[in-house]
Amino acid sequence: MQNIRLEHPAGSSAEILVDLGFNCHKFSAPVDGENVPIVWSEEGFAEGGKRPSGRGIPLLFPFPGRIGGTTFQWEGRSFELTAGDGQGNAIHGFVLDRPWRLLEQTATRAVAEFHASVDDPALADMWPADFRLTVAYELGAAELSLEVTIENPDHHPLPCGLGLHPYFQLPLGGDATNAEHCIVHLPVTKNWELENMLLTGRCADIFNAAEFQAGLRFGDMQFDNVFSGLQFQGDVCHAAITDPQAKRKVSISFDRLFRECVVYTPPHRRAVCIEPYTCTPDPFRLAREGMDGGLKILQPGQKYTGRFQISVASCR
């Protein structure tokens, strides 16, 4: 499996699996003289055999989250998908577990592409239009940036949604038992209702949204939720994780291409996922029912670009 490594002169590093969804499964940076792992994945992930959506930074496209069942309906046509969530639903799109093509690599930058009709022609029978996804990772002294470009190279409209699914390791260095004391700051004000992990279409205000924004103790969090009503400062939305015992902070930011945020606390409790989505899970069904789930329909030749960044610093 092609596993590439980026290294910055300041001491930060990242590793990316080109053959497994261009997943950045390791990112660490020096803080206060200690090399601090920021992105979580267990040892052995690069050797394969483990669920690709459960580690690193999985890239979810052309649909993030679940589509109810395995039949996708679009403009009078039916497309058969593959169940992947253990409950009979399609989940997280097509690109997170397939090989990508590396286009560019330097010491601190890597760019790869997944073009459906080129990299897996069988997808032509599974989605209404061809698509091209290009992702660039850029490593800084204490940050990792990701830029993603979605393109429609087809002559048919492309319905789609994009999600990023990063696993942030807790705690931020030091004693592993301190993870429960970390504080997670979530810039959200609304919550989409789920039944059997599928959206009902109802979205309600969070009564204690100010507490979410001020920060929740990780030990008190138990989430697999789709949040909305994101709070932006200008064109950027900011989330964060603070470790009060290690006195370190991870800052997470993303632009207005994204409008939902999934928050997930894995059962192993070694990480928290703060996942920007461009749409809700299954925005296609919501659109058919006259609701706005953030569905994007790219016309032939149209493209969108979004940006996401992780940085770490001391907060002594």
**Phi, psi dihedrals of residue 75, rounded to the nearest 5°:** 50, 50
In the chain, pLDDT over 70 holds for what percent of residues? 100
SS3 119: helix
d(C-alpha 5, C-alpha 99), whole Å: 17
**pLDDT one-digit tens code per residue, 264-285:** 999 999 999 999 999 999 999 9
- Reply yes or no on whether the pLDDT at 174 is more than 80: no
Nearest to 138 by CA among 167, 106, 114: 106
CATH 2.30.110.10 fits 3-314, yes or no: no
- The residue with greater pLDDT, 173 or 228, is 228
**pLDDT one-digit tens code per residue, 192-240:** 999 999 999 999 999 999 999 999 999 999 999 999 999 999 999 999 9
Provide the token pair at 242. Answer: 């603070």
Provide the token pair at 302. Answer: 């149209």
SS3 17: strand
For tokens 């207005």, what's the residue?
256
What is the structure's pLDDT at 1?
83
In the chain, pLDDT over 90 holds for what percent of residues? 93
Q: How far is C-alpha 185 from the geometric centre of its chain's CA atoms?
A: 17
What is the structure's pLDDT at 45?
87
DSSP the chain: --EEEEE-TTS-EEEEETTTTTEEEEEEEEETTEEEEEE---TTGGGS-S-GGGSS--EEBS--SEESSSEEEETTEEEE----SSSS-EESBSSTTS--EEEEE-SSEEEEEEEHHHH-GGGGGTSSS--EEEEEEEE-SSEEEEEEEEE--SSS-EEE--EE--EEESSSSS-GGGGGG-EEE----EEEEEETTEEEEEEEE-TTHHHHHH-EEGGG---EEEEE---EETTEEEEEEEETTTTEEEEEEEETT--EEEEE--TT-SEEEEEEESS-SSHHHHHHTT-----EEEPTT-EEEEEEEEEEEE--
**pLDDT one-digit tens code per residue, 10-59:** 999 999 999 999 999 999 999 999 999 999 998 888 888 788 899 999 99
d(C-alpha 150, C-alpha 56), whole Å: 21
What is the structure's pLDDT at 229?
98
- Reply yes or no on whether the pLDDT at 6 is more than 80: yes
What is the structure's pLDDT at 85?
93
SS3 107: coil
**pLDDT one-digit tens code per residue, 120-156:** 999 999 999 999 999 999 999 999 999 999 999 999 9
